[in-house]
């Protein structure tokens, strides 16, 4: 059973608790939509100073909107376009301090100022991306990146079945 715990300690400890909670939510559940929905809700509850968090999944060569928390979003993003498409093309995390300075940024929400996108990989094959937007510049740092990458790898352990 999932239990809400208080996020105490330093940021690394808080992220470690978040990942523990994710494992608890995923335990015994194989449905991808259910797991991604709970993962986006968990991140939305945990992260402060964000305005959108969710997943885009690869479908027929492009990223298609999956479970998310926030305002309505762009439904389809071509690989190589915007921050999500760039992370998908490079197969690596893209962290953007100011989205207005990112060439080809796709503005789904005008309030977004910074963004981090983490690819979801299964043996090097792109499954999708985790996308998180913030209404403030420079919201995401190295700690966020490392721990969110761990969050995605934990999620992918279940995704692989």
Assigned domain for 6 exists: no
On the question of pLDDT at 1 being above 70, the answer is no
* 144-156: pLDDT as tens digits: 999 999 999 999 9
> Which distant-in-sequence residues (6+ apart) come within 8 Å of 139 by Cβ?
49, 50, 113, 114
The residue range of the domain holding 116 is 11-159
Nearest 5°: the CA angle 48, 93, 24 is: 55
Question: What's the confidence (pLDDT) of residue 5?
Answer: 57
Structure tokens at 34: 């259910």
Looking at the DSSP assignment, which residues form a beta bridge with residue 130? Answer: 55, 118
Count how many domains the chain has: 1
> Which distant-in-sequence residues (6+ apart) come within 8 Å of 116 by Cβ?
93, 94, 95, 96, 131, 132, 140, 144, 145, 148
pTM over 0.95: no
On the question of pLDDT at 54 being above 90, the answer is yes
Assigned domain for 136 exists: yes
Give the CATH number for residue 46: 3.30.450.40
Question: pLDDT above 90 covers what percent of the chain?
Answer: 81
Please say whether the dihedral angle defined by the alpha carbons of residues 97, 133, 86 and 142, taken in this order, is positive or negative. positive
What is the rounded distance in angstroms from the CA atom of residue 46 to the CA atom of residue 123? 28
Q: Which of 145, 129, 154 is nearest to 47 (CA)?
A: 145
Report H helices in the chain: 11-26, 32-46, 82-90, 142-159
């Amino acid at each position: 059973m999932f239990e809400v715990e208080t996020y105490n300690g330093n940021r690394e400890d808080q992220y470690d608790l978040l990942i523990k909670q994710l494992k608890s939510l995923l335990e015994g559940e194989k449905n991808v939509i259910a797991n991604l929905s709970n993962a986006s809700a968990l991140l939305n509850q945990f992260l402060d100073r964000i305005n959108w968090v969710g997943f885009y999944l690869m479908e027929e060569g492009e990223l298609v909107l999956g479970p998310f928390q926030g305002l309505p979003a762009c439904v389809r993003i071509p690989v190589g376009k915007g921050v999500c498409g760039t992370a998908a093309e490079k197969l690596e995390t893209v962290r953007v301090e100011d989205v207005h300075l990112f060439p080809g940024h796709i503005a789904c929400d005008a309030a977004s100022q910074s963004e981090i996108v983490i690819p979801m990989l299964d043996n090097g094959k792109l499954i999708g991306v985790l996308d998180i937007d913030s209404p403030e510049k420079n919201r995401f740092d190295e700690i966020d990146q490392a721990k969110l990458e761990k969050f995605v790898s934990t999620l992918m352990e279940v995704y692989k079945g």
